[in-house]
Chains A and B, each alone.
Chain A
Amino acid sequence: MEKFSVFMLSLAGFFTFFVIISIFYLFSALSYGPLILEFLFSQQVLLALWVSISSSTVVMIISLILGVPTAWMLANKDFKNKNILETLIVDVPHSFPPGVVGTTYLLMFQPTSPIGVLLDSLGLHIINTFWAMILVKTFISAPFLVGILTVKFRDLRKSELEVIAKSLGASDFKTFYTITLPLSRKAMVSGSARCWARALGEVAGTIVFAGAIISGVTQTMPAIIVFEAQTSLPAALTLALILATISIIILVAFKLLLERKE
Protein backbone atom coordinates (compact mmCIF):
# COMPACT_ATOMS: atom_id res chain seq x y z
CA MET A 1 0.00 0.00 0.00
CA GLU A 2 1.30 3.50 -0.81
CA LYS A 3 2.43 5.76 2.04
CA PHE A 4 -0.31 8.26 1.19
CA SER A 5 -3.04 5.63 1.59
CA VAL A 6 -1.53 4.47 4.89
CA PHE A 7 -1.46 8.08 6.13
CA MET A 8 -5.09 8.75 5.12
CA LEU A 9 -6.36 5.43 6.49
CA SER A 10 -4.55 5.97 9.80
CA LEU A 11 -6.25 9.32 10.36
CA ALA A 12 -9.61 7.94 9.20
CA GLY A 13 -9.15 4.99 11.59
CA PHE A 14 -8.34 7.32 14.49
CA PHE A 15 -11.43 9.44 13.81
CA THR A 16 -13.69 6.38 13.45
CA PHE A 17 -12.35 4.96 16.75
CA PHE A 18 -12.89 8.33 18.47
CA VAL A 19 -16.53 8.53 17.34
CA ILE A 20 -17.35 4.89 18.12
CA ILE A 21 -15.77 5.00 21.57
CA SER A 22 -17.80 8.15 22.37
CA ILE A 23 -21.03 6.44 21.31
CA PHE A 24 -20.01 3.34 23.29
CA TYR A 25 -19.56 5.41 26.44
CA LEU A 26 -22.93 7.04 25.89
CA PHE A 27 -24.57 3.64 25.60
CA SER A 28 -22.75 2.45 28.72
CA ALA A 29 -25.57 4.31 30.48
CA LEU A 30 -27.69 1.24 29.64
CA SER A 31 -26.15 -0.24 32.79
CA TYR A 32 -28.24 2.25 34.77
CA GLY A 33 -31.40 0.34 33.81
CA PRO A 34 -33.63 1.36 36.75
CA LEU A 35 -32.58 4.99 36.31
CA ILE A 36 -33.70 4.91 32.68
CA LEU A 37 -37.13 3.62 33.70
CA GLU A 38 -37.36 6.21 36.46
CA PHE A 39 -36.58 9.05 34.03
CA LEU A 40 -38.90 7.71 31.35
CA PHE A 41 -41.79 8.00 33.80
CA SER A 42 -40.69 11.35 35.25
CA GLN A 43 -43.03 14.16 34.31
CA GLN A 44 -40.19 16.69 34.25
CA VAL A 45 -38.18 14.57 31.78
CA LEU A 46 -41.20 13.87 29.58
CA LEU A 47 -42.05 17.57 29.48
CA ALA A 48 -38.42 18.45 28.69
CA LEU A 49 -38.48 15.88 25.87
CA TRP A 50 -41.70 17.38 24.55
CA VAL A 51 -40.26 20.94 24.71
CA SER A 52 -37.06 19.81 22.99
CA ILE A 53 -38.78 17.95 20.16
CA SER A 54 -41.61 20.44 19.64
CA SER A 55 -39.30 23.47 19.68
CA SER A 56 -36.89 21.79 17.25
CA THR A 57 -39.77 20.94 14.93
CA VAL A 58 -41.09 24.52 15.07
CA VAL A 59 -37.55 25.77 14.34
CA MET A 60 -37.30 23.37 11.39
CA ILE A 61 -40.62 24.57 9.96
CA ILE A 62 -39.68 28.25 10.38
CA SER A 63 -36.27 27.52 8.84
CA LEU A 64 -37.94 25.89 5.83
CA ILE A 65 -40.38 28.77 5.38
CA LEU A 66 -37.64 31.41 5.58
CA GLY A 67 -34.67 29.34 4.45
CA VAL A 68 -35.99 28.09 1.10
CA PRO A 69 -36.59 31.62 -0.28
CA THR A 70 -33.27 32.81 1.17
CA ALA A 71 -31.34 29.96 -0.47
CA TRP A 72 -33.26 30.56 -3.72
CA MET A 73 -32.27 34.25 -3.62
CA LEU A 74 -28.60 33.48 -2.89
CA ALA A 75 -28.46 30.92 -5.70
CA ASN A 76 -30.43 32.73 -8.38
CA LYS A 77 -30.10 36.46 -7.92
CA ASP A 78 -26.90 38.30 -8.73
CA PHE A 79 -26.30 41.54 -6.86
CA LYS A 80 -23.47 43.59 -5.44
CA ASN A 81 -21.80 42.27 -2.27
CA LYS A 82 -23.76 39.01 -2.40
CA ASN A 83 -20.73 37.13 -1.04
CA ILE A 84 -20.64 39.36 2.04
CA LEU A 85 -24.38 38.86 2.62
CA GLU A 86 -24.01 35.10 2.23
CA THR A 87 -21.14 35.03 4.72
CA LEU A 88 -23.23 37.04 7.17
CA ILE A 89 -26.36 34.90 7.01
CA VAL A 90 -24.87 31.44 6.44
CA ASP A 91 -21.30 31.29 7.74
CA VAL A 92 -21.25 33.79 10.62
CA PRO A 93 -24.06 32.11 12.62
CA HIS A 94 -22.05 28.85 12.40
CA SER A 95 -19.05 30.47 14.01
CA PHE A 96 -20.99 32.28 16.77
CA PRO A 97 -20.83 30.50 20.15
CA PRO A 98 -24.51 29.91 21.10
CA GLY A 99 -23.95 31.61 24.47
CA VAL A 100 -22.94 34.76 22.62
CA VAL A 101 -26.12 34.52 20.51
CA GLY A 102 -28.21 34.32 23.70
CA THR A 103 -26.40 37.32 25.19
CA THR A 104 -26.88 39.31 21.98
CA TYR A 105 -30.61 38.62 22.02
CA LEU A 106 -30.78 39.57 25.70
CA LEU A 107 -29.31 42.92 24.75
CA MET A 108 -31.55 43.26 21.70
CA PHE A 109 -34.79 42.41 23.52
CA GLN A 110 -34.13 43.98 26.95
CA PRO A 111 -37.00 46.24 28.01
CA THR A 112 -34.96 49.42 27.47
CA SER A 113 -33.85 48.57 23.91
CA PRO A 114 -35.87 49.97 20.95
CA ILE A 115 -37.20 46.49 20.09
CA GLY A 116 -37.96 45.83 23.76
CA VAL A 117 -39.85 49.12 24.05
CA LEU A 118 -41.81 48.35 20.86
CA LEU A 119 -42.73 44.83 22.00
CA ASP A 120 -43.62 46.14 25.45
CA SER A 121 -46.01 48.67 23.92
CA LEU A 122 -47.68 45.76 22.09
CA GLY A 123 -47.87 43.78 25.32
CA LEU A 124 -45.36 41.18 24.11
CA HIS A 125 -42.51 39.74 26.15
CA ILE A 126 -39.93 37.47 24.61
CA ILE A 127 -37.18 36.91 27.18
CA ASN A 128 -37.55 33.64 29.18
CA THR A 129 -40.36 32.34 26.95
CA PHE A 130 -40.79 29.45 24.50
CA TRP A 131 -40.40 31.96 21.65
CA ALA A 132 -37.08 33.17 23.04
CA MET A 133 -35.87 29.60 22.68
CA ILE A 134 -37.24 29.41 19.12
CA LEU A 135 -35.45 32.64 18.22
CA VAL A 136 -32.05 31.46 19.46
CA LYS A 137 -32.41 28.00 17.96
CA THR A 138 -33.52 29.37 14.59
CA PHE A 139 -30.53 31.72 14.41
CA ILE A 140 -28.18 28.84 15.12
CA SER A 141 -29.88 26.06 13.13
CA ALA A 142 -31.44 27.65 10.03
CA PRO A 143 -28.06 28.39 8.37
CA PHE A 144 -27.45 24.62 8.10
CA LEU A 145 -30.55 24.30 5.93
CA VAL A 146 -29.86 27.51 3.99
CA GLY A 147 -26.27 26.42 3.27
CA ILE A 148 -27.23 22.98 1.94
CA LEU A 149 -30.12 24.34 -0.15
CA THR A 150 -28.04 27.18 -1.62
CA VAL A 151 -25.49 24.66 -2.93
CA LYS A 152 -28.29 22.53 -4.43
CA PHE A 153 -30.11 25.48 -6.00
CA ARG A 154 -26.79 26.68 -7.48
CA ASP A 155 -26.21 23.27 -9.04
CA LEU A 156 -29.69 23.41 -10.54
CA ARG A 157 -29.08 26.89 -11.91
CA LYS A 158 -25.87 25.66 -13.52
CA SER A 159 -27.69 22.69 -15.07
CA GLU A 160 -30.06 25.15 -16.86
CA LEU A 161 -33.03 22.83 -16.22
CA GLU A 162 -35.02 25.75 -14.83
CA VAL A 163 -34.26 27.87 -17.91
CA ILE A 164 -35.42 25.00 -20.11
CA ALA A 165 -38.63 24.66 -18.10
CA LYS A 166 -39.28 28.39 -18.55
CA SER A 167 -38.54 28.17 -22.28
CA LEU A 168 -41.25 25.49 -22.42
CA GLY A 169 -43.75 27.96 -20.99
CA ALA A 170 -43.47 27.37 -17.24
CA SER A 171 -43.94 30.43 -15.03
CA ASP A 172 -41.42 31.09 -12.25
CA PHE A 173 -43.73 29.43 -9.72
CA LYS A 174 -44.42 26.39 -11.93
CA THR A 175 -40.69 26.02 -12.59
CA PHE A 176 -40.02 26.08 -8.87
CA TYR A 177 -42.84 23.65 -8.11
CA THR A 178 -42.28 21.15 -10.94
CA ILE A 179 -38.49 21.25 -11.34
CA THR A 180 -36.65 22.95 -8.46
CA LEU A 181 -38.56 21.37 -5.57
CA PRO A 182 -38.64 17.75 -6.81
CA LEU A 183 -34.96 17.87 -7.73
CA SER A 184 -34.01 19.43 -4.37
CA ARG A 185 -36.04 17.05 -2.23
CA LYS A 186 -32.99 15.13 -1.01
CA ALA A 187 -31.14 18.32 -0.05
CA MET A 188 -34.29 19.67 1.58
CA VAL A 189 -34.82 16.56 3.71
CA SER A 190 -31.17 16.26 4.72
CA GLY A 191 -30.93 20.02 5.41
CA SER A 192 -34.11 19.89 7.51
CA ALA A 193 -32.80 16.89 9.44
CA ARG A 194 -29.52 18.67 10.21
CA CYS A 195 -31.36 21.82 11.19
CA TRP A 196 -33.67 19.82 13.46
CA ALA A 197 -30.78 17.93 15.07
CA ARG A 198 -28.81 21.14 15.64
CA ALA A 199 -31.85 22.80 17.23
CA LEU A 200 -32.40 19.75 19.43
CA GLY A 201 -28.85 19.88 20.78
CA GLU A 202 -28.71 23.65 21.35
CA VAL A 203 -28.34 24.54 25.02
CA ALA A 204 -26.13 27.52 25.86
CA GLY A 205 -28.15 30.15 23.96
CA THR A 206 -31.39 28.71 25.34
CA ILE A 207 -30.13 28.92 28.94
CA VAL A 208 -28.95 32.52 28.51
CA PHE A 209 -31.94 33.96 26.62
CA ALA A 210 -34.83 31.64 27.52
CA GLY A 211 -33.81 30.68 31.01
CA ALA A 212 -34.44 26.99 30.41
CA ILE A 213 -35.88 26.48 33.88
CA ILE A 214 -39.65 26.58 33.37
CA SER A 215 -40.74 22.96 33.05
CA GLY A 216 -42.95 22.38 30.02
CA VAL A 217 -42.11 25.80 28.53
CA THR A 218 -38.39 26.49 28.25
CA GLN A 219 -36.74 23.58 30.00
CA THR A 220 -35.21 21.32 27.34
CA MET A 221 -33.49 17.97 27.69
CA PRO A 222 -30.02 19.34 26.91
CA ALA A 223 -30.54 21.98 29.61
CA ILE A 224 -31.47 19.32 32.21
CA ILE A 225 -28.43 17.26 31.12
CA VAL A 226 -26.13 20.25 31.65
CA PHE A 227 -27.60 20.93 35.10
CA GLU A 228 -27.51 17.23 36.10
CA ALA A 229 -23.91 16.79 34.91
CA GLN A 230 -22.81 19.12 37.70
CA THR A 231 -24.33 16.91 40.43
CA SER A 232 -24.91 13.38 39.09
CA LEU A 233 -22.99 11.94 36.18
CA PRO A 234 -25.12 8.73 35.88
CA ALA A 235 -28.29 10.85 35.69
CA ALA A 236 -26.80 13.13 33.04
CA LEU A 237 -25.55 10.17 31.01
CA THR A 238 -28.91 8.39 31.22
CA LEU A 239 -30.80 11.48 30.09
CA ALA A 240 -28.30 11.95 27.25
CA LEU A 241 -28.88 8.35 26.19
CA ILE A 242 -32.66 8.86 26.11
CA LEU A 243 -32.29 12.05 24.06
CA ALA A 244 -29.75 10.51 21.69
CA THR A 245 -31.91 7.42 21.11
CA ILE A 246 -34.99 9.47 20.30
CA SER A 247 -32.94 11.77 18.08
CA ILE A 248 -31.44 8.79 16.21
CA ILE A 249 -34.90 7.22 15.72
CA ILE A 250 -36.27 10.47 14.24
CA LEU A 251 -33.24 11.01 11.98
CA VAL A 252 -33.40 7.41 10.72
CA ALA A 253 -37.12 7.91 10.04
CA PHE A 254 -36.21 10.99 7.96
CA LYS A 255 -33.68 8.95 5.97
CA LEU A 256 -36.11 6.07 5.43
CA LEU A 257 -38.79 8.47 4.29
CA LEU A 258 -36.39 9.89 1.74
CA GLU A 259 -35.27 6.47 0.48
CA ARG A 260 -38.83 5.17 0.24
CA LYS A 261 -39.87 8.11 -1.92
CA GLU A 262 -36.84 7.57 -4.16
Chain B
Amino acid sequence: MVAVKLQGIFKNFGDNKILENINWDIEEGELMVLVGPSGCGKTTLLKIILGSINPNSGYIYFNQKLMNNVPISQRNIGFVPQNFGLFPHLNVNDNISYGLRMHKFSKSKINAQVSMFIKMLKFENLELRIPTQLSWGQQQRVALARALAIEPQLLLLDEPLSSVDWAARREITEEIHRMQKDLKITTIYVTHDINEAIDIGDRITIMSCGKIEQCDSPKELIENPKSNFVSDYLRYINNLKKI
Protein backbone atom coordinates (compact mmCIF):
# COMPACT_ATOMS: atom_id res chain seq x y z
CA MET B 1 0.00 0.00 0.00
CA VAL B 2 1.25 3.47 -0.85
CA ALA B 3 1.90 5.46 2.34
CA VAL B 4 3.04 8.72 0.76
CA LYS B 5 2.13 9.92 -2.71
CA LEU B 6 3.32 13.13 -4.33
CA GLN B 7 1.62 14.26 -7.51
CA GLY B 8 2.90 17.00 -9.82
CA ILE B 9 4.83 18.94 -7.21
CA PHE B 10 6.38 22.19 -8.41
CA LYS B 11 8.31 24.62 -6.22
CA ASN B 12 10.01 27.90 -7.12
CA PHE B 13 11.87 30.35 -4.89
CA GLY B 14 11.52 33.59 -6.87
CA ASP B 15 12.76 32.82 -10.36
CA ASN B 16 14.65 29.72 -9.24
CA LYS B 17 12.95 26.46 -10.10
CA ILE B 18 13.69 24.14 -7.18
CA LEU B 19 11.33 21.23 -7.91
CA GLU B 20 9.79 20.35 -11.27
CA ASN B 21 6.89 17.98 -11.61
CA ILE B 22 7.74 15.55 -8.83
CA ASN B 23 5.65 12.36 -8.88
CA TRP B 24 6.72 9.97 -6.17
CA ASP B 25 5.26 6.99 -4.29
CA ILE B 26 6.58 5.57 -1.03
CA GLU B 27 5.28 2.19 0.09
CA GLU B 28 4.12 1.55 3.63
CA GLY B 29 6.92 0.39 5.94
CA GLU B 30 9.70 0.90 3.41
CA LEU B 31 12.90 2.83 3.94
CA MET B 32 13.19 5.14 0.95
CA VAL B 33 16.49 6.93 0.49
CA LEU B 34 16.46 10.23 -1.36
CA VAL B 35 19.88 10.89 -2.77
CA GLY B 36 21.41 13.55 -4.99
CA PRO B 37 24.04 16.26 -5.10
CA SER B 38 23.82 19.30 -2.82
CA GLY B 39 21.27 21.83 -4.04
CA CYS B 40 19.23 19.36 -6.11
CA GLY B 41 16.06 19.98 -4.06
CA LYS B 42 16.12 17.01 -1.65
CA THR B 43 15.64 19.04 1.52
CA THR B 44 12.95 21.22 -0.10
CA LEU B 45 11.05 18.08 -1.10
CA LEU B 46 11.38 16.73 2.44
CA LYS B 47 10.08 20.01 3.89
CA ILE B 48 7.11 19.96 1.54
CA ILE B 49 6.22 16.52 2.88
CA LEU B 50 6.81 17.77 6.44
CA GLY B 51 4.60 20.79 5.79
CA SER B 52 7.05 23.57 6.63
CA ILE B 53 7.15 24.65 2.95
CA ASN B 54 4.13 24.79 0.65
CA PRO B 55 4.48 23.67 -2.97
CA ASN B 56 3.50 26.11 -5.73
CA SER B 57 1.34 23.35 -7.15
CA GLY B 58 0.78 19.63 -6.77
CA TYR B 59 -0.73 17.27 -4.24
CA ILE B 60 0.57 15.43 -1.17
CA TYR B 61 -1.26 12.34 0.05
CA PHE B 62 -0.64 10.25 3.20
CA ASN B 63 -2.53 6.96 3.01
CA GLN B 64 -4.71 8.43 0.26
CA LYS B 65 -5.64 11.45 2.38
CA LEU B 66 -4.88 14.86 0.86
CA MET B 67 -2.47 16.63 3.20
CA ASN B 68 -1.79 19.96 1.45
CA ASN B 69 -3.73 22.02 3.98
CA VAL B 70 -3.06 19.88 7.05
CA PRO B 71 -0.81 21.80 9.51
CA ILE B 72 2.55 20.28 10.52
CA SER B 73 1.33 19.56 14.03
CA GLN B 74 -1.40 17.26 12.69
CA ARG B 75 0.68 15.33 10.15
CA ASN B 76 2.14 12.96 12.77
CA ILE B 77 5.64 13.00 11.28
CA GLY B 78 8.87 12.28 13.12
CA PHE B 79 11.52 14.64 11.78
CA VAL B 80 15.27 14.57 12.42
CA PRO B 81 17.10 17.48 10.73
CA GLN B 82 20.78 17.67 9.85
CA ASN B 83 21.79 19.32 13.12
CA PHE B 84 19.41 17.04 15.13
CA GLY B 85 17.44 20.05 16.41
CA LEU B 86 17.41 19.07 20.06
CA PHE B 87 15.78 21.69 22.26
CA PRO B 88 18.80 23.21 24.03
CA HIS B 89 16.91 24.21 27.18
CA LEU B 90 15.48 20.73 27.81
CA ASN B 91 17.30 17.68 29.16
CA VAL B 92 17.34 14.27 27.45
CA ASN B 93 14.19 13.13 29.26
CA ASP B 94 12.25 16.27 28.41
CA ASN B 95 13.42 16.23 24.79
CA ILE B 96 12.22 12.65 24.32
CA SER B 97 8.93 13.27 26.11
CA TYR B 98 8.20 16.61 24.38
CA GLY B 99 6.04 15.17 21.60
CA LEU B 100 4.23 12.86 24.01
CA ARG B 101 3.34 15.81 26.21
CA MET B 102 2.16 17.81 23.20
CA HIS B 103 -0.03 14.88 22.15
CA LYS B 104 -1.43 14.86 25.71
CA PHE B 105 -0.53 11.24 26.42
CA SER B 106 -1.17 10.09 29.99
CA LYS B 107 1.66 10.51 32.48
CA SER B 108 2.09 6.74 32.80
CA LYS B 109 2.29 6.31 29.01
CA ILE B 110 4.86 9.14 28.81
CA ASN B 111 6.99 7.60 31.57
CA ALA B 112 6.78 4.13 30.01
CA GLN B 113 7.68 5.37 26.55
CA VAL B 114 10.58 7.51 27.76
CA SER B 115 11.93 4.67 29.93
CA MET B 116 11.78 2.32 26.98
CA PHE B 117 13.83 4.65 24.79
CA ILE B 118 16.28 5.51 27.59
CA LYS B 119 16.85 1.76 28.07
CA MET B 120 17.08 1.11 24.33
CA LEU B 121 19.69 3.86 23.95
CA LYS B 122 21.51 2.79 27.14
CA PHE B 123 21.15 6.39 28.36
CA GLU B 124 20.38 5.62 32.01
CA ASN B 125 23.08 8.00 33.28
CA LEU B 126 22.44 10.71 30.74
CA GLU B 127 18.73 11.37 31.26
CA LEU B 128 19.22 14.71 32.98
CA ARG B 129 21.91 16.05 30.67
CA ILE B 130 21.18 18.93 28.34
CA PRO B 131 22.12 18.54 24.64
CA THR B 132 25.40 20.48 24.87
CA GLN B 133 26.62 17.89 27.39
CA LEU B 134 26.18 15.06 24.86
CA SER B 135 28.44 13.88 22.04
CA TRP B 136 27.23 14.20 18.42
CA GLY B 137 26.41 10.50 18.32
CA GLN B 138 24.41 10.72 21.55
CA GLN B 139 22.54 13.79 20.30
CA GLN B 140 21.68 11.97 17.10
CA ARG B 141 20.23 9.06 19.09
CA VAL B 142 18.17 11.35 21.32
CA ALA B 143 16.80 13.15 18.26
CA LEU B 144 15.83 9.82 16.73
CA ALA B 145 14.23 8.63 19.97
CA ARG B 146 12.27 11.90 20.26
CA ALA B 147 10.97 11.52 16.70
CA LEU B 148 10.03 7.85 17.20
CA ALA B 149 8.46 8.30 20.64
CA ILE B 150 5.28 9.80 19.17
CA GLU B 151 4.82 6.66 17.04
CA PRO B 152 4.73 8.68 13.81
CA GLN B 153 3.13 7.46 10.62
CA LEU B 154 6.18 8.73 8.72
CA LEU B 155 9.80 9.33 9.70
CA LEU B 156 11.86 11.96 7.86
CA LEU B 157 15.62 11.95 8.32
CA ASP B 158 17.49 14.84 6.68
CA GLU B 159 21.15 13.85 6.30
CA PRO B 160 21.27 12.56 9.87
CA LEU B 161 24.88 11.41 9.59
CA SER B 162 26.34 14.55 8.02
CA SER B 163 27.95 15.68 11.27
CA VAL B 164 28.81 12.26 12.68
CA ASP B 165 32.39 10.99 12.34
CA TRP B 166 33.14 8.04 10.09
CA ALA B 167 33.73 5.67 13.00
CA ALA B 168 30.22 6.20 14.39
CA ARG B 169 28.48 6.22 10.99
CA ARG B 170 28.19 2.50 10.41
CA GLU B 171 26.99 1.87 13.95
CA ILE B 172 24.31 4.59 13.71
CA THR B 173 23.27 3.52 10.20
CA GLU B 174 22.71 -0.02 11.46
CA GLU B 175 20.81 1.29 14.48
CA ILE B 176 18.50 3.39 12.28
CA HIS B 177 17.97 0.41 9.99
CA ARG B 178 17.19 -1.92 12.90
CA MET B 179 14.82 0.54 14.63
CA GLN B 180 13.03 1.29 11.37
CA LYS B 181 12.48 -2.40 10.64
CA ASP B 182 11.47 -3.22 14.25
CA LEU B 183 8.94 -0.39 14.39
CA LYS B 184 7.89 -0.77 10.71
CA ILE B 185 7.75 2.98 10.19
CA THR B 186 7.66 4.33 6.65
CA THR B 187 10.87 6.33 6.40
CA ILE B 188 12.37 8.84 3.99
CA TYR B 189 16.08 9.20 4.50
CA VAL B 190 17.85 12.08 2.73
CA THR B 191 21.55 11.92 1.99
CA HIS B 192 24.02 13.01 -0.66
CA ASP B 193 26.14 9.90 -0.06
CA ILE B 194 25.29 7.08 -2.47
CA ASN B 195 27.15 4.58 -0.29
CA GLU B 196 24.97 5.41 2.69
CA ALA B 197 21.94 5.05 0.39
CA ILE B 198 23.03 1.60 -0.81
CA ASP B 199 23.74 0.51 2.77
CA ILE B 200 20.37 1.41 4.18
CA GLY B 201 17.68 1.82 1.50
CA ASP B 202 14.94 -0.60 0.46
CA ARG B 203 14.57 1.69 -2.54
CA ILE B 204 16.62 4.65 -3.67
CA THR B 205 15.42 7.78 -5.41
CA ILE B 206 18.10 9.74 -7.26
CA MET B 207 17.42 13.43 -7.80
CA SER B 208 19.15 16.00 -9.94
CA CYS B 209 18.28 19.66 -10.60
CA GLY B 210 14.83 19.43 -9.02
CA LYS B 211 13.77 16.29 -10.89
CA ILE B 212 13.60 12.61 -10.01
CA GLU B 213 16.02 10.76 -12.28
CA GLN B 214 15.20 7.24 -11.11
CA CYS B 215 13.49 5.47 -8.21
CA ASP B 216 14.32 1.77 -7.82
CA SER B 217 15.82 -0.89 -5.60
CA PRO B 218 19.62 -0.67 -5.22
CA LYS B 219 19.99 -3.76 -7.43
CA GLU B 220 17.78 -2.37 -10.21
CA LEU B 221 19.59 0.96 -10.09
CA ILE B 222 22.96 -0.67 -10.54
CA GLU B 223 21.80 -3.03 -13.26
CA ASN B 224 19.58 -0.65 -15.22
CA PRO B 225 20.48 2.99 -14.73
CA LYS B 226 17.99 5.01 -16.74
CA SER B 227 20.10 8.09 -17.43
CA ASN B 228 23.69 9.19 -17.81
CA PHE B 229 23.36 11.16 -14.57
CA VAL B 230 22.39 8.01 -12.65
CA SER B 231 25.26 6.02 -14.20
CA ASP B 232 27.70 8.78 -13.30
CA TYR B 233 26.35 9.04 -9.76
CA LEU B 234 26.62 5.30 -9.21
CA ARG B 235 30.33 5.38 -10.05
CA TYR B 236 30.91 6.66 -6.52
CA ILE B 237 29.75 3.40 -4.97
CA ASN B 238 32.56 1.70 -3.12
CA ASN B 239 30.58 -0.97 -1.33
CA LEU B 240 28.73 -3.51 -3.41
CA LYS B 241 28.27 -6.03 -0.58
CA LYS B 242 24.56 -5.46 -0.20
CA ILE B 243 23.75 -5.64 -3.91
Chain A residues within 8 Å of B, Cβ to Cβ: 159-161, 163-172, 174, 178-179, 182-183
Known: A166-B71, A183-B89. 13 other contacts (CB 8 A): A160-B81, A163-B50, A164-B85, A165-B98, A166-B52, A167-B72, A167-B78, A168-B98, A169-B73, A169-B76, A170-B98, A171-B102, A178-B98
Residues 145-156 of chain B, each 1 if its beta carbon lies under 8 Å from chain A, else 0: 011001000000
Known: A161-B87, A183-B88, A183-B89. A168 touches B81 (CB 8 A): no
Number of interface residues of B (CB under 8 A): 25
> Whole-angstrom distance from the CB of B142 to the nearest CB of chain A?
12
Say yes or no: B150 contacts A161, CB within 8 Å.
Answer: no
Say yes or no: B85 contacts A159, CB within 8 Å.
Answer: yes
Report chain B residues within 8 Å CB of A168: 98-99, 102-103, 146-147, 150
> Whole-angstrom distance from the CB of B168 to the nearest CB of chain A?
22
In Å, the complex CA distance between A172 and B72 comes to 10
The reply on B75 being an interface residue by CB < 8 A is yes
Known: A167-B77, A168-B150. A161 touches B99 (CB 8 A): no
Say yes or no: B75 contacts A167, CB within 8 Å.
Answer: yes
Report chain B residues within 8 Å CB of A166: 52, 71-73
In Å, the complex CA distance between A177 and B189 comes to 30
In Å, the complex CA distance between A165 and B147 comes to 10
In Å, the complex CA distance between A178 and B73 comes to 14
Say yes or no: A171 contacts B73, CB within 8 Å.
Answer: yes
Say yes or no: B73 contacts A161, CB within 8 Å.
Answer: no
Report chain B residues within 8 Å CB of A164: 79, 81, 85, 87
Say yes or no: B73 contacts A170, CB within 8 Å.
Answer: yes
Q: Which of B47-73 contact A (CB under 8 A)?
A: 50-52, 71-73
